[in-house]
Structure 1
Amino acid sequence: MSQTDLARPVLQLRNVTRVHGHGPSEVHALRGVDLAVHPGEFVAVMGPSGSGKSTLLTLAGGLDRPSGGEVLVEGVELGGLSRTGLAAVRRRSVGYVFQDYNLIPALTAAENIALPRELDGTSGRTARREALAALTELGIAELADRFPEEMSGGQQQRVAIARALVGDRRLVLADEPTGALDSATGEAVLAVLRARCDAGAAAMMVTHEPRHAVWADRVVFLRDGRIVDESIGRDAETLLLLSSRNGAGR
């Protein structure tokens, strides 16, 4: 990777706003957010319910468009892309872990993971090999040929994480990725995300747990759609203090 690639953010939000509704029902989910996530960086996002955390992720992943400002992934401004171009960026560059998993019921675990790769032109054999490697990395290779209805919620969550990590994803976005997992499994998943960042990817994770946020290089705190605080480093005591001050556990 060149020095230019290292210097350029994988994800950049410039003065991003998102407004839902109109008139009396208007809700400002995000208000002038500026944020950059660089190669190798793991960023955690915390804040109280309704602070704009999930909205931030959906805009970063190109699943929604901002009302104002710009969202760039690897230097490409998402607002200027067609629906086809946006879908291509999501398949090639962005891995997204949804809270509700979003697995396709009619496909096995391996097929769910391989599908984005096949849609992007990877051969079926190669896509399955990559899917099995991702399942193995998450410690669930035995789930490869099971359908979602044959898995527990925690197993579905890990399959969804494997899908987000398969291939050369430069940006991983995770919305409460450990929510359905026991403590030990959750820590193992965070270790995998940390390892991906250490290998050069960028990640942004929404969490309400300070003990999970300590895996990140940086923690940003949202309140009422604005970034109101930030912590650099993995100091659990400082994170607990900032979380309490900013209502992040509510």
Structure 2
Amino acid sequence: MPAPPPAAPPPSATSAKTPLLELREVSRTHRSGVAEVHALRAVSLCVYPGELVAVMGPSGSGKSTLLTLAGGLDTASSGEVVIEGRDIAALSPKEMAALRRRSVGYVFQDYNLIPALTAAENIALPRELDGVSTRKARREAMAALAEMKLTEVASRFPDEMSGGQQQRVAIARALIGNRRLVLADEPTGALDSETGEAILALLRTRCQQGAAGVMVTHEPRHAAWADRVVFVRDGSIVDQTLHAGADSLLSGGTEAVQ
């Protein structure tokens, strides 16, 4: 089983870099009848190239909301979401779609595979939509499946695969191409322990190659793969390195990083 990486260097080590993802005082408010529900409250967060950040917190605390806003799948009520130096609120729908195809890989908790496409076709689709030839996109898809040790499902449709296989196909789709921002919502939720650790190692490697990663997880042992942990409670976050260990985060023994 792969060993988790060492704890992250202090924040000063990344201060000279430009964030690949930046949330600036981002809030998200939903209406429920006449009441307002504050899913996120003025959250600020920077994620740098080469860094994997874990997001933890109780159910309903805003973890998934943070991730969908970071990927441009939802719109902030206030504040700014900046990807690769671009305020995504200023992008047209066409520009935002292109940014997601080229730069953002998103692993959905419910997989979000297209039922009418095979595993290889699901993985290749973002590349084909971005103008890559079908032959090249399928070749890249097969390489991604091989990396997941999943080539035997290339021609299967989602309903012909197990939940764990669908999860790995979804991860392969998120990593194909040169996506510089990888967002994963419980990426190991449907996987056995050994396969889950292998997927975390793969995410970690992609970050070491220059991507920025944000991973929602409820497992301290999975968060131990990250450079930093963002703990979300009632829509607000506490940012911390892993020097103290993820277990201390859950027990309330956090040390905020300003």
- TM-score, normalisation: structure 1: 0.92
> Per-residue deviation at 1:244?
2.4
Query: Does the aligned pair in 1 maintain the 2:224–2:245 contact within 8 Å?
Result: no
1:84 and 2:94 correspond = yes
**Which residues of 2 match residues 18-97 of structure 1 at below 5 A?**
18-21=28-31, 24-97=34-107
2:239 pairs with one of 230, 233, 237: 230
Query: Does the aligned pair in 2 maintain the 1:231–1:239 contact within 8 Å?
Result: no
The structure with the greater share of residues assigned to helix is: 1
2:222 pairs with one of 200, 212, 231: 212
Please name the residue that 2:4 is paired with. none
**Which residues of 2 match residues 90-129 of structure 1 at below 5 A?**
90-129=100-139
Please name the residue that 2:246 is paired with. 239
The one-letter code of the counterpart of 1:211 is R
CA distance in structure 2 between the aligned counterparts of 1:7 and 1:217, rounded to whole angstroms: 15
1:8 and 2:18 correspond = yes
Comparing 140-149 and 210-219, the one that deviates more = 140-149
Which 4+ runs in 1 deviate beyond 4 A?
none
String of CA shifts for 1:28-51, please: whole Å, max 9, x gaps.
Answer: 000000000000000000011111
> Per-residue deviation at 1:143?
1.2
CA distance in structure 2 between the aligned counterparts of 1:109 and 1:64, rounded to whole angstroms: 26
> Per-residue deviation at 1:24?
3.5
Query: Does the aligned pair in 1 maintain the 2:39–2:61 contact within 8 Å?
Result: yes
Backbone CA RMSD of aligned residues: 1.3
The one-letter code of the counterpart of 1:79 is A
> Per-residue deviation at 1:22?
5.9
> Per-residue deviation at 1:231?
2.4
CA distance in structure 2 between the aligned counterparts of 1:60 and 1:129, rounded to whole angstroms: 30
Q: Give the 3-state SS of the residue equivalent to 2:245 in structure 1.
A: helix
Q: Give the 3-state SS of the residue equivalent to 1:245 in structure 2.
A: coil
Please name the residue that 1:3 is paired with. none
The one-letter code of the counterpart of 2:248 is L
String of CA shifts for 1:156-185, please: whole Å, max 9, x gaps.
Answer: 000000000000000000000000000000
Comparing 42-51 and 23-32, the one that deviates more = 23-32
CA distance in structure 2 between the aligned counterparts of 1:15 and 1:184, rounded to whole angstroms: 38
Unaligned runs of 5+ in 2: 1-15, 254-258
String of CA shifts for 1:170-224, please: whole Å, max 9, x gaps.
Answer: 0000000000000000000000000000111010000000000000000010101
CA distance in structure 2 between the aligned counterparts of 1:7 and 1:39, rounded to whole angstroms: 8
Please name the residue that 2:143 is paired with. 133
Query: Does the aligned pair in 1 maintain the 2:107–2:183 contact within 8 Å?
Result: yes
CA distance in structure 2 between the aligned counterparts of 1:165 and 1:238, rounded to whole angstroms: 28
Residues matched between the structures, number: 238
Unaligned runs of 5+ in 1: 1-5
Query: Does the aligned pair in 2 maintain the 1:41–1:197 contact within 8 Å?
Result: yes
CA distance in structure 2 between the aligned counterparts of 1:156 and 1:18, rounded to whole angstroms: 30
The one-letter code of the counterpart of 1:207 is T
> Per-residue deviation at 1:13?
0.3
Query: Does the aligned pair in 2 maintain the 1:105–1:149 contact within 8 Å?
Result: yes
Please name the residue that 1:189 is paired with. 199
